[in-house]
Amino acid sequence: MLDATDTRLLSALQKDAHLTAHQLGEMLNLSASQAGRRRQRLEAEGYITGYTARLDPLMLGLQVQGFIQVHLGTHGPEQSASFARMVDTRPEITSAWTMTGEADYLLHVYCDDLSALNSLLHEVILPHPAVARVQSQIVMDQLKRDAPLPT
């Protein structure tokens, strides 16, 4: 069970995962050792699943961000597993969700340019035997970056 101090610690770490135990302690009115133990407990209990760096896609030359809705022609465990394996092998696909509604999957992609997006669609996703059709949307501007989870 999380208490108010735990949620404040999680919120702080989502904003800056580099915070030291000393810095966390100052923010939370705890000693550095108490803050460090809380962080370790939250990691061990699975509230904190890892630490990553957020990179700027434009600085990396990834000029096109998009979403691809995928509609399967056939549904079954083999088709789903095969599609999931393909998704897992493609670095352009940064996240994927199974969905309710018309589309079966929603893919978030980053590509170098429109040609690379076209290749991903026509040479990788559409040829997959389970895929019936796709619908893609290109991001024109991102109003809000991926934000921390509410705590």
pLDDT per residue over 92-102, tens digit each?
Answer: 999 999 999 99
Question: Any residues with CB less than 8 A from the CB of 25 and at least 6 apart, and which?
Answer: 31, 32, 33, 34, 35, 36
Q: Which residues pair with 96 in a beta bridge?
A: 107
| Summary mean pLDDT of the chain | 96
Find, among 95, 85, 101, the residue nearest to 52 by Cα.
Answer: 95
Confidence (pLDDT) at 146: 87
* Global pTM value: 0.87
- Is 131 in contact with 97 (CB distance < 8 Å)? no
Provide the pLDDT for residue 75.
87
Q: What is the pLDDT of residues 44-87, one digit of tens each?
A: 999 999 999 999 999 999 999 999 999 999 889 999 999 999 99
Percent of the chain with pLDDT over 90: 92
Mean pLDDT within 138-144 = 95
